[in-house]
């Protein structure tokens, strides 16, 4: 974990916006502005999944390079504020996460909560919205949005058998071909809305894809598979041709309202 006096909440990776695809990484970073110290935690906690999605930054950079797609990554640790939550979600700023109490998040005043929204959360989502809009403008069609995440091999004593999972709500245009392609690989255990359910009102996919009618998919890769650079490279090389094939489908770049399993948009 790095503490920075000059801190940007996001990083752009430029690419070919005329192609119509973009990549997001909500939990790529684990850094904190210098003023927050380590939120009262030992530095070792920032090596754990509670601080960021292990391996995602490397996968995202390689995917962007292989596909030529632009990307935006959040730089701040989700222990500061979680960009993949709605503003009214009770887990937006966690005071307890997987057994770890976060002293710097308790007590949380209304003023401090709003400050983190204004300085980190909203600028990241503004950057995502700006990239989505520029891809739509330069490509002249609805964007295809792909989000990269990772998950722990075990949680609360449960061994997670999946190597990878695809999360989604109701729009299956990108999801079905992605699941089909991954499931033909021998020995690869692929989860459909595992290890989490993709219907989360107010999350990044809801804000930028579902409400706009844009095709999208969120991938969760098990962290032990991408902790090291070699695994990150292998997964990027596995996913890049798959994303390019999905991106080439005409229906992917149409605006279609599928609604949400969380209720009316």
What is the full per-residue pLDDT of the chain (265 aa) written as tens digits? 665 557 899 999 999 999 999 999 999 999 999 999 999 999 999 999 999 999 999 999 999 999 999 999 999 999 999 999 999 999 999 999 998 999 999 999 999 999 999 999 999 999 999 999 999 999 999 999 999 999 999 998 899 999 999 999 999 999 999 999 999 999 999 999 999 999 999 999 999 999 999 999 999 999 999 999 999 999 999 999 999 999 999 999 999 999 999 999 9
- Report CA-CA distances (Å) from 238 to 130, 242, 244: 28, 7, 11
Fold of 3-253: Aminopeptidase (3.40.630)
Q: How many Å apart are CA 110 and CA 89, to the nearest integer?
A: 14
Among candidates 201, 102, 26, which has minimal Cα distance to 94? 102
Q: Decide if 38 contacts 32 (C-beta within 8 A).
A: yes
pTM, two decimal places: 0.97
């Amino acid at each position: 974990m790095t503490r920075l006096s000059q801190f940007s909440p996001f990083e752009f990776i430029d690419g070919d916006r005329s192609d119509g695809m973009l990549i997001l990484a909500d939990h790529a970073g684990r850094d904190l502005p210098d003023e927050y110290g380590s939120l009262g935690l030992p530095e070792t906690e920032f090596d754990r999944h509670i601080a960021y999605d292990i391996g995602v930054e490397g996968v995202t950079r390689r995917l962007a390079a292989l596909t030529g797609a632009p990307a935006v990554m959040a730089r701040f640790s989700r222990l500061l504020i979680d960009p993949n939550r709605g503003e009214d979600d009770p887990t937006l700023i966690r005071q307890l996460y997987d057994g770890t109490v976060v002293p710097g998040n308790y007590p949380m005043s209304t003023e401090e909560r709003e400050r983190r929204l204004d300085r980190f959360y909203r600028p990241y989502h503004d950057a995502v919205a700006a990239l989505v809009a520029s891809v739509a403008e330069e490509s002249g069609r609805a964007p295809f949005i792909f989000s990269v995440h990772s998950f722990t091999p075990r949680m609360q004593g449960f061994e997670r058998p999946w190597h990878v999972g695809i999360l989604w709500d109701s729009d299956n245009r990108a999801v079905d071909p992605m699941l089909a392609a991954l499931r033909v690989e021998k020995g690869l255990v692929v989860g459909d809305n595992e290890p989490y359910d993709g219907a989360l009102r107010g999350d990044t996919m809801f804000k930028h894809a579902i409400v706009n009618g844009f095709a999208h998919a969120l991938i969760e890769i098990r962290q032990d598979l991408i902790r090291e650079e070699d695994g990150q490279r292998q997964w990027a090389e596995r996913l890049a041709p798959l994303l390019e094939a999905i991106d080439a489908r005409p229906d992917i770049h149409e605006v279609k309202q599928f609604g949400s399993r969380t209720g009316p948009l």
